[in-house]
Structure 1
C-alpha cells in the first residue's frame, strides 16, 4: 500500500463505512470498528452476548416501558469478552450512561457523567451485587444472573 502525497493517514467516517461494507461482503464474520480515526477488527459476539442483551432489555422494559437500550435513550451496553471496550468514544459523544459487562473479570462497570472527553463517574461491582444505572436510565440492576454467562 502506498501513501498518496498530501493525504492524511486517518480515515474519514464515510471512507470507513464504505470499506466496512466491502469487508462484510467478502467475509460475513468480519466486523470492523472505527474509533478515534483508526480502524480495527471487532471481536464477533458469542451466543451469550445476545442472551445478556435480551435479559437486560427485559429488565429495562419492565422498569420503564419503552426503554429499548437505544443510545438515543441515554444508554449504551457492551458485553466484553476478549474484545475492546470503548468508554472514551461514548463519553466524547456525550452519551449519559455506558454500561460495560465484563465477563472476563466478572464485573459490571457503569460509566456516567460524561464531560466530553471521559466519564467522570465510574462504578464497578462484581457479578452478584446490585448497581444503580443513573438517569436517564434510572434503574437498579441485580447482576446475580450474569454469573450464568461466565466462561
Structure 2
C-alpha cells in the first residue's frame, strides 16, 4: 500500500512538473532530477557552437543518426520520473516522432552536455546527469567540460548502480573515440576556441 501511495505521489509530482515546465517562458528551461526541480541555464554562444560542431560531425560520419539539440526532453532515472533536457541527444533520424515533449530514452544512443558557467554545473553535469542517464540505460554520455578543457566519454551504463562503468577523459586537442553504438572519432582541437 505504501508503495502504491509513493508511486501515486511521484506521478502527481511529475505531472505537476510537466505542467509547470510546459508553461515556462522560453528563457527558462526546467528539469527534474532526484525528485527536485531545477532550472537549467540557457546555452551561451560557445555552448551552441559546440553542439553545432558536434551535430555537423555526427551528420558527416553517421548520416543515419541525428543529434537533436536542447529542445528534446527525456524521461530518465529508474522509474522514469526524472525529466532532463540534454544539450544534445543522438538517436536514429525520426526517432522521436509522436513521442511528445518528454520521450522515453529507449533507442537513444548518446546524450551530450556542455558545462555551463554557473554554480550548479558541477553537481548537475558531473554527478546527477550521468547517474540519471546511466540508470535510464543510455549507452553513451558525452560531457564537454569547458572548465577542465576536457571531453569525458562515459560508456557501459549499469542501470542498477546508476553509474557508467567506463569513463575516458581526454584534454581538448586529442582525438576521442566514441565507441559503438555511436562509432565515431572526434578531433577535439576546435574545442580550445570555445573556452573562456
TM-score in terms of structure 1 length: 0.86
Distance in 2 separating the partners of 1:9 and 1:60: 37
Give the paired residue count: 143
CA contact (8 A) 2:178 2:184 kept: yes
1:96 paired residue number: 139
Please report how far the alpha carbon of residue 47 of structure 1 lies from its aligned counterpart in structure 2 after TM superposition. Answer: 1.3
Matched residue of 2:22: which SS?
Answer: helix
CA contact (8 A) 2:173 2:188 kept: yes
Q: 1:11 to 1:49 in 2, by over 3 A?
A: farther
1:120 paired residue number: 165
Match of 1:48 among 46, 49, 55: 46
Matched residue of 1:34: which SS?
Answer: strand
Please report how far the alpha carbon of residue 150 of structure 1 lies from its aligned counterpart in structure 2 after TM superposition. Answer: 0.6
Distance in 2 separating the partners of 1:20 and 1:97: 26
Q: 1:59 to 1:105 in 2, by over 3 A?
A: same
Distance in 2 separating the partners of 1:78 and 1:29: 18
Matches within 5 A, 1:1-151: 12-24=13-25, 28-69=26-67, 70-71=90-91, 72-82=107-117, 83=121, 84-85=124-125, 86-116=129-159, 117-151=162-196
| Per-residue CA distance 1:97-146 (angstroms, 9 max, x = gap) | 01000111111100000010110011111101111101110111111000
Q: Is the deviation greater in 63-72 or in 109-118?
A: 63-72
Where does structure 1 lack aligned partners over 5 or more consecutive residues? 1-5
Q: Is the deviation greater in 70-79 or in 130-139?
A: 70-79
Please report how far the alpha carbon of residue 66 of structure 1 lies from its aligned counterpart in structure 2 after TM superposition. Answer: 2.0
Distance in 2 separating the partners of 1:37 and 1:46: 27
Please report how far the alpha carbon of residue 9 of structure 1 lies from its aligned counterpart in structure 2 after TM superposition. Answer: 8.4
Q: 1:12 to 1:147 in 2, by over 3 A?
A: same
Q: Which runs of 4+ in 1 moved over 3 A?
A: 6-11
TM-score in terms of structure 2 length: 0.67
CA contact (8 A) 1:128 1:143 kept: yes
Matched residue of 1:136: which SS?
Answer: coil
CA contact (8 A) 1:107 1:124 kept: yes
Please report how far the alpha carbon of residue 12 of structure 1 lies from its aligned counterpart in structure 2 after TM superposition. Answer: 2.7
